[in-house]
Amino acid sequence: MRVIKIFGPGCLKCETLYENVVKALEELKMEAQIEHIKDLKQMALYGVFKTPALWVDGSLVSQGKVLSVDEIKQILTT
């Protein structure tokens, strides 16, 4: 099972990224463990300095951008 972490303090962009991840997973019929991390200290431990950020299976794949559903699907299938 994939492990996905979304980093952001709860702003609109962060929530949109979370929703896009959920939608991408649904469209791909893929299961994943999703965690939304809002704590700034924890973000720093993962090397996140711009939000929203997306972490997939141990790698930081995006930060400072709201990825579209299609962009997320591409990340999850490669």
Could you list the active site residues?
11, 14
51 backbone dihedrals φ, ψ, rounded to 5°: -115, 155
Going by the DSSP 8-state scheme, the letter that residue 51 receives in this structure is S
Helices (H), the chain: 12-28, 40-45, 69-77
